[in-house]
Amino acid sequence: FTYLVVDEGQRLKNHRCTLISSLKRIHSANRLLLSGTPIQNNLNELWSLLNFVNPSIFDDLSVFQSWFGFRDIGQKDKGGTEGDQIVLEQRQNNTVSKLHEILRPFLLRRIKRDVLSDMPPKKEIVVYSGMSKLQHGYMDLIEKGVLRDILLKQGIEQARNLSQTNKQMNQRKNANHPFLFGEPIDPASGIHLGTAHPQLLVRASGKFALLDRMLERLFHDKHQVLIFSQMTALLNIIEDYLLFRKWKYCRIDGSTKIDDRQRQMDVFNAEKTGGEGGTRNDSDDRHFVFLLSTRAGGLGINLATADTCIIFDSDWNPHQDSQ
């Protein structure tokens, strides 16, 4: 073949994967990778892509690493290079600039503003929310290291698997929703509290109380919304909330099968022409929300009919959120 074109090129970032070895068996004069996913601070992944595109130049990973002198940036457990060292290297030897110079002949970078001139600029708003009384109580218990014992005394069996060593992670969970540690049982009915009294599901978390007000307004104003979270357990709680509000929704996370992903995208995007006379469907039976886990994105997901995107909990790596 004259050309071999691989879409979703980031799948070739592992140079040991079966996909690469299979594709390398196809003889072609030219190879082209298409990808919209950023490289994650890893020279090995970058070399793997370059090696596939031009194996005659990028034929040895160790030589490639030696050009720049850093590896596994910020990953101390793997003997990775510290960020401060890279800044120092850049000042002394222009290392990062050299990397850019080497990449430039092999990379054609298209930015949205270059190809979509009619697209309005992205408007990004950071909204801060307070914490509920329950969250303030949990926050103190996490700091004291007694949250698991207290929850078990209250009969929340899910708390038995709770690890108290990583306080920072537990505080992140608490900031999202305290029911991530286990949901209390309603003594009157014997079922979960959020099911018996859905309003408590909202009031238990400051973020949910704010989200509730935002979604009410967005639904009334005929918007379609994407909600991203890193935690699939949190998506389960948001699902319970959406069922309480009787809003139709779709969901994709890492466990969703490819066929089901496409079916849900088709259903959600059909709202654009699903109304009377082929107009946008603004009635109450429309699919209003699409729930996604942050890491499930980046594999050909197209939800261009939505006009509002809510990132419920930000990723440590800002590239994940921008992606």
**By mean pLDDT, which of 121-130, 178-187, 294-303 is the weakest?**
294-303
- % of the chain surpassing 70 pLDDT: 90
- % of the chain surpassing 90 pLDDT: 45
Q: What is the pLDDT of residue 199?
A: 92
Tokens of residue 118, six digits: 């009619």
Please report which residue ranges of the chain form alpha helices under DSSP H.
Answer: 18-24, 43-53, 61-68, 83-93, 95-103, 112-115, 133-144, 147-153, 167-176, 193-196, 198-203, 206-220, 232-245, 258-269, 318-322
pLDDT in tens, 158-174: 888 888 888 999 999 99
pLDDT in tens, 306-322: 999 999 998 887 777 77
Q: Given pLDDT bands bounded at 50, 70 and 90, which one contains residue 102?
A: confident
Across the range 7-14, mean pLDDT stands at: 88
Considering only residues 52 and 89, tell me which one the structure prediction assigns the higher pLDDT. Answer: 52
**By mean pLDDT, which of 40-44, 132-136, 180-184 is the weakest?**
40-44
Q: What is the pLDDT of residue 254?
A: 82
> How far is the C-alpha of 124 from the C-alpha of 112, rounded, in Å?
16
> How far is the C-alpha of 56 from the C-alpha of 50, rounded, in Å?
10
pLDDT in tens, 198-218: 999 999 999 999 999 999 999
Tokens of residue 29, six digits: 């004069």
Q: Is the pLDDT score of 51 beyond 60?
A: yes
Q: Is the pLDDT score of 190 beyond 70?
A: yes
Q: What is the pLDDT of residue 158?
A: 85
CA dihedral 224, 229, 262, 255 (to 10 degrees): -150
Half-sphere exposure of 69 (CA within 13 A, CB side): 13
Q: Given pLDDT bands bounded at 50, 70 and 90, which one contains residue 1?
A: very high
Q: Is the pLDDT score of 148 beyond 80?
A: yes
> How far is the C-alpha of 125 from the C-alpha of 258, rounded, in Å?
32
CB 291 within 8 A of CB 249: yes
Q: What is the mean pLDDT of the chain?
A: 86
Considering only residues 92 and 260, tell me which one the structure prediction assigns the higher pLDDT. Answer: 260
**By mean pLDDT, which of 8-12, 27-31, 90-94, 172-176 is the weakest?**
90-94
Q: What is the pLDDT of residue 29?
A: 93
pLDDT in tens, 64-85: 877 766 655 656 666 666 667 6
Q: What is the pLDDT of residue 249?
A: 96
CA dihedral 156, 161, 162, 165 (to 10 degrees): 160
Tokens of residue 284, six digits: 């109450």
CB 247 within 8 A of CB 289: yes
CB 1 within 8 A of CB 27: yes
CB 202 within 8 A of CB 241: yes
> How far is the C-alpha of 138 from the C-alpha of 133, rounded, in Å?
9
Q: What is the pLDDT of residue 282?
A: 86
> How far is the C-alpha of 240 from the C-alpha of 235, rounded, in Å?
9
CA dihedral 214, 217, 221, 222 (to 10 degrees): 60
pLDDT in tens, 228-237: 999 999 999 9
